[in-house]
Amino acid sequence: MAEVLVFHHGHGLTTGIQEFAELLRQAGHTVHVPDLFEGQVFDSLEEGIGYAEKAGFGTIIARGTAAAERLPAELVYLGFSLGVLPAQKLAQTRPGAKGALLLEACVPVPEFGGAWPQDVPVQVHGMDADPFFAGEGDVDAARALVETAADAELFLYPGDRHLFTDSSLPSHDEHAATQAIHRVLGFLDRIK
């Protein structure tokens, strides 16, 4: 079973993120879910991103890195949207990473230096008409990652919802989220 470090999105540590983590636990995985917003949960994504901008995206990434440093190196990093920043950085730069699951965001690999580590499998999930994922270049970064990484998959779901995997938000899409969870669990089951 895998040990997974989950980073929440721009709304904060919502009940939907906690429920997603619990599904992974029920499948037998060890899951850690740090709060990068220090207890803040926002009703709107704009408020949450405003908080992250005020704190500084570097600070948010540093909080994620600090959470990882208290854990073994052999982790799978899972990030939702904003949480992809620390997840992807750690997967690319922290020795021992076992995998990366990037949901609803993907950063160009050069942002965190060099190439994607060839021994780190990765999955990217997003909606094909999501204004953030598809409209702001994340899908292009994901396609480039899939072309260069040894073990990489991109899953596109029909729709225009951002944060479709969070069951506590109005943007939740049950069908697409169920598919994503199934694929995430399959990915984790092959981690040794």
What count of other Cβ atoms lies within 10 Å of the Cβ of residue 8?
A: 27
What count of other Cβ atoms lies within 10 Å of the Cβ of residue 189?
A: 12
Per the structure, the count of domains in the chain is 1
- Find the mean pLDDT for residues 48-54: 95
Among 40-44, 48-52, 112-116, 175-179, whose mean pLDDT is lowest?
Answer: 112-116
CATH code, domain with 37? 3.40.50.1820
- Find the mean pLDDT for residues 49-78: 96
Range of the domain at 160: 3-189
Q: What is the pLDDT of residues 14-46, one digit of tens each?
A: 999 999 999 999 999 999 999 999 999 999 999
- Find the mean pLDDT for residues 94-110: 97
Half-sphere exposure in the Cβ direction for 91 (13 Å, CA): 35
Closest by CA position to 79, among listed 27, 5, 24, 141: 5
Specify the pLDDT at position 112. Answer: 93
Specify the pLDDT at position 114. Answer: 81
Residue 119 pLDDT class (50, 70, 90 cuts)? very high
Mean pLDDT over the full length of the chain: 96
192: pLDDT strictly greater than 80: no
Q: Give me the sign of the Cα torsion angle 84, 117, 185, 23.
A: negative
In the block, tokens 């440093």 appear at: 69
- Find the mean pLDDT for residues 2-25: 98
